[in-house]
Structure 1
């Protein structure tokens, strides 16, 4: 089975090709170019480098969130379009699952953190169990202080991973005892991690419904600002 995996949940655009359990290739761009401009180009280039066409793909994997509202919509729309056009199935996974999978052999708590702005992160908690990851906490958007208190209550060593470390690594070193960090290159969501997890689901016949959508742990900023303006207007009219 040949699987194409795509993630555009953050400023990173990443695409991977998997054949069974083998990684054929991966392209990751960590810059601020718009995903709508570069994503299909990356897919086309990766296929060409492997002497494949879109007709050779047996299934697709895509990140469903949390993350950038625009990025998630672009990634999901791209994969759903390819899936519909080719008649091949797809499965969507959490970007947090993919981050945790990159350090799945850590013998303690695994805590992915993605920057959610305003001193908060998208996060969850995992632990390695018999060769697979067990999720210990629902996907959440938490203030850093709140997350640290949760970690401290567990009384275990923990490894943090994700782009949230760009902002909060020093804070975690100061406030969270017994914490560890991976090499910097692992802090990016990797399409290869999504692909490895998703390939197993596709082989087991676990497909997404064609109408599945990204999931957001926060409302878009524009929507939040609109609600705040409406609240102020209602208060002024009282």
Structure 2
């Protein structure tokens, strides 16, 4: 089974090729270029460097968020197009699940944090149960202070992973105890981690409905929030 995985929920664009017996290759680029420019080029180069074509791929895995609204739409549209063109299955995986998978061997609570701006994060809490991730809460959108309070109440060791680590590390160190932080290399959303989860799901018989699958946003986009604000003002609310 050959899986092509695409992660586009953050500023980093990442693609990976994974087989049942391991990772064939992965390209990750954290540079200020739009995913619409990067993704197909990364996919083409990865396939060529492994002497493969899109016809050799058995299934596609894509991040469904939460994360960058634009990045998620570009990634989802790209992979949906590849699935339609090749008539191959699609598996969508949460970007938070992928980040947590980077720290699967941690014995306490694994807490991915993705910066949602204005002192907020996208997050979820996980534990390693039998070598697989088990969610302790649903995917959520918290202020950093709410996050610290909830985890403190759980009274367990916590490891933080994700692009929110750099931004909120000082706050978390000042307001929490018994906490750890992932290495910089593990705080990227990796297509390989996403693909491993997707491969597990595929081998268990799961795939998404291509026409029904949509990104997880957790909150409205800035444009939607600004529109709502204008409507409130115009209605005298």
**TM-score, L = length of structure 1:** 0.98
Conserved 8 A contact 1:21-1:196: no
Note the C-alpha offset of 1:142: 0.4
1:217 correspondence with 2:236: no
Structure 2 unmatched ranges of 5 or more:
none
Where do 4+ consecutive residues of structure 1 move more than 4 Å?
none
Indicate the residue corresponding to 1:235 in structure 2: 236
Note the C-alpha offset of 1:204: 2.3
Q: Deviations over 1:6-44 (max 9, x none)?
A: 000011100000011310000000112000011000000
The farther-off stretch of 8-17 and 197-206 is: 197-206
Note the C-alpha offset of 1:175: 0.7
SS in 2 for 1:3: strand
SS in 2 for 1:160: strand
Distance between the aligned counterparts of 1:107 and 1:207, measured in 2?
30
Alignment of 1:151-170 (within 5 A): 151-170=151-170
Note the C-alpha offset of 1:149: 0.5
Alignment of 1:64-83 (within 5 A): 64-83=64-83
Note the C-alpha offset of 1:163: 0.1
Note the C-alpha offset of 1:205: 2.0
Indicate the residue corresponding to 1:23 in structure 2: 23
Distance between the aligned counterparts of 1:70 and 1:208, measured in 2?
21
Q: As a proportion of its length, which structure holds more strand?
A: 1
**TM-score, L = length of structure 2:** 0.98
Distance between the aligned counterparts of 2:21 and 2:153, measured in 1?
37
CA root-mean-square deviation: 0.8
Note the C-alpha offset of 1:220: 0.6
Note the C-alpha offset of 1:135: 0.3
Distance between the aligned counterparts of 1:32 and 1:11, measured in 2?
7
How many residues get paired?
A: 236
